[in-house]
Amino acid sequence: MPVRFSRRRFVQLAAGASALSSVATIARADTYPTRPVRMVVGFPASNASDIVARLAGQKLSERLGQSFIVENRPGAGGNIAVEFVVNAAPDGYTLLAASTSAAINATLYEHLSFNFLRDIAPVAGVARAPYVLVVTPAFPATTVAEFTAYAKANPGKINMASAGNGSLSHLCGELFKTMAGIDMVHVPYRTSFLPDLFAGQIQVVFSPISQSIEYVRSGKLRALAVTSATRQPSLPDIPAVAEFVPGYEASGWYGIGAPKNTPADIVVSLNTAMNSTLAEADMKTRLNELGAVPMPTTPAEFASFLAADTEKWGKVIRAADIKPE
């Protein structure tokens, strides 16, 4: 015989179930993680993404009491790692050490098996890493204004190196070309462009600060500007491109993502731990040594940032008709 409940009794039972659900959520947040967590990086060991992931993982281990193990799954410009995490269980134990390449690849590659913005849950920003516009010491320009004047007077005669078609160094240059109204010849490299740059066969490159800072300090390269909207602590005397080309900004970034449908309490727990870490003085120092600055965000702020960055680089890729190598 069916059991009948009064409306009052039904409300009481519903309230009790809700309370139990809340308790379970709080308990999970308090106990996560209970075993090692892996952070998947789409690039080889010693790559900047790998270095930042290991630094973040070490700090998260200290705060959350479990090992955060970096697992390198390089290939396809980082797509292999993203696809692996997209297909992982949404339980907080497989995370993506995300970087700018994910936002770029969303447009650069036409037939991906996933949608980065839809299939990866934004967890936390870690750092922003501006690039620096460097030239050879013999180049006849010491400022961005002089550089653009020379480029306009010598269209197509400046060779601009990059780490490959669709790389951030390439896109920084394409964005600069458009906003400054100049033309440069793009020369993509699969290996290091530094020997040709030192030899003068290449005249300019937008390079990660960490890659070029020692050459700038030693005088082997001349830094004209950083690509962030403002000057950077690691190169405080070098102006920003935006001081000469208003509105220009182009920076790499590093963050943490998880498979979609990862429980919100786990996302919040990771986000809180990461933001607390980014406030530490030694973390700021370590990032500064890498030419980066902390990027604390809420999950919602990180989601908005990823959408905007994906749209930004999508426009550049389409305008320049850039194809992957």
- Do 64 and 118 lie in one domain? The reply is yes
**CA–CA distance, 230 with 246 (Å, rounded to integer):** 11
Cβ burial of 306 (10 Å; 0-12, 13-18, 19+) is buried
Is there a domain that residue 4 lies in? no
Report the CATH number at residue 119: 3.40.190.150
The residue out of 243, 263, 293 marking a domain boundary is 243
Please say whether the beta carbons of 101 and 93 come within 8 A. Answer: no
Is there a domain that residue 21 lies in? no
Put residue 200 in one of left, alpha, beta given phi > 0 → left and psi -120 to 50 → alpha: left
The string of pLDDT tens digits covering residues 36-64 is 999 999 999 989 999 999 999 999 999 99
- Do 152 and 169 lie in one domain? The reply is yes
Is there a domain that residue 155 lies in? yes
Domain assignment of residue 273, given as a range: 36-129+251-320
Question: How many domains in the chain?
Answer: 2
Cβ burial of 318 (10 Å; 0-12, 13-18, 19+) is exposed
Is the pLDDT at 29 greater than 80? The verdict is: no
Residue 21, pLDDT score: 41
CA dihedral defined by 123, 129, 130, 132, rounded to 10 degrees?
-160
The residue out of 215, 243, 271 marking a domain boundary is 243
Report the CATH number at residue 138: 3.40.190.10
The residue out of 243, 274, 290 marking a domain boundary is 243
Question: Phi, psi at residue 324, to the nearest 5°?
Answer: -70, 155
Compute the radius of gyration of the chain from its Cα atoms: 23
Is there a domain that residue 14 lies in? no
Is there a domain that residue 19 lies in? no
CB atoms < 10 A from the CB of 65, how many? 9
- Do 228 and 135 lie in one domain? The reply is yes
- Do 273 and 309 lie in one domain? The reply is yes
**CA–CA distance, 166 with 170 (Å, rounded to integer):** 6
**CA–CA distance, 322 with 181 (Å, rounded to integer):** 18
Residue 275, pLDDT score: 98
Is there a domain that residue 88 lies in? yes
- Do 122 and 262 lie in one domain? The reply is yes
Residue 325, pLDDT score: 79
- Do 256 and 224 lie in one domain? The reply is no
Is there a domain that residue 310 lies in? yes
Residue 10, pLDDT score: 36
- Do 122 and 258 lie in one domain? The reply is yes
The string of pLDDT tens digits covering residues 285-318 is 999 999 999 999 999 999 999 999 999 999 999 9
The string of pLDDT tens digits covering residues 130-166 is 999 999 999 999 999 999 999 999 998 999 999 999 9
Please say whether the beta carbons of 6 and 14 come within 8 A. Answer: no
Q: Mean of the pLDDT values across residues 72-98? A: 97
